[in-house]
Structure 1
Amino acid sequence: MSLENTINEAIKTAMKEKDKVALDALRAVKSQILLLKTEAKGAEVSAEQEIAILQRMIKQRKDSFEQFAAQGRNDLAEVEEAQMQVIIKYLPAQLSTEELEAEIRKIIAETGAETIKDLGKVMGTASKLLAGKTDGKSISEMAKKLLS
């Protein structure tokens, strides 16, 4: 089942349960998917594009959460946090720190990277291979740690 179909079913469930937070988050996801389909002029949306949409939306909510929390607007921060948790459910299983380290070590060995100067090679490969399994910031931090 595609992400769009899954989201549509989840919207129906959220409506029945009167879960406003989930409904708002799911409608935002559906909106982004429809926007991507419109831009693609009817072309099929790939799983990678769907994952990228979810990751972008999670990052936006995380940034908003941090800004609201810093300003003492806990009411708004809680809404962003709740929506982020709803969206996270639709991402593939995320890598643990240990799994991420193992994957980055394997990529470093494959690319022949030795120093921090080779970070670009590692990041390029890792970003493609680990898309949807973790965020770019985590990849970058782990690669820098292992190359230093």
Structure 2
Amino acid sequence: MREKDRVALDSLRAVKSQILLLQTEARGAEVSAEQEIAILQRMIKQRKDSFEQFSAQGRQDLAEVEEAQMKVIEKFLPKQLSAEELETEIKNIISETGAESIKDLGKVMGAASKALAGKSDGKSISEMAKKLLS
């Protein structure tokens, strides 16, 4: 507020609002770290979608706001895995689950989603798992 950073202020207010909403739905129960990470990931995904739509429509003014908010929210997430790190992690999960083909994608995705929660988004995990199982 003191820095007059309107984008950061709006982003943080949105995050706080989502967390308070979750607490209200849970009747005041404590929100876990996993739930907070899920909220942040969902908010980033929403902003990415909005950014893409605004860019496609030629509304760069709105797209820039969404991109700036996305960067502010990403600061509060754990460090995201690089493509190489993600590939290594999924290879380990594939060997642990004994998956051999694309038919075993469900087993791999279940284990990977739990193991990599907050470190990578579901879309990246899914794409890498499909690539490695094909």
The verdict on a shared fold, with TM-score over 0.5 as the criterion, is: yes
- For 1:33, the equivalent position in structure 2 comes to 19
**AA aligned opposite 1:18:** K
Distance 1:73 1:22 in 2: 21
One-letter amino acid of the counterpart of residue 129, structure 1: A
Q: Does 1:108 align with 2:94?
A: yes
Q: Which runs of 5+ in 2 are unaligned?
A: none
Matched ranges for 1:1-148 at <5 A: 15-148=1-134
Output the TM-score relative to the length of structure 1.
0.90
Cα distance in 1, alignment partners of residues 48 and 83 from structure 2 = 20
- The size of the alignment, in residue pairs, is 134
Identity %: 85
* 1:42 Cα deviation from its structure 2 partner: 1.2
Listed as ranges, the gaps of 5+ residues in structure 1 are 1-14
RMSD between superposed Cα atoms in Å: 0.4
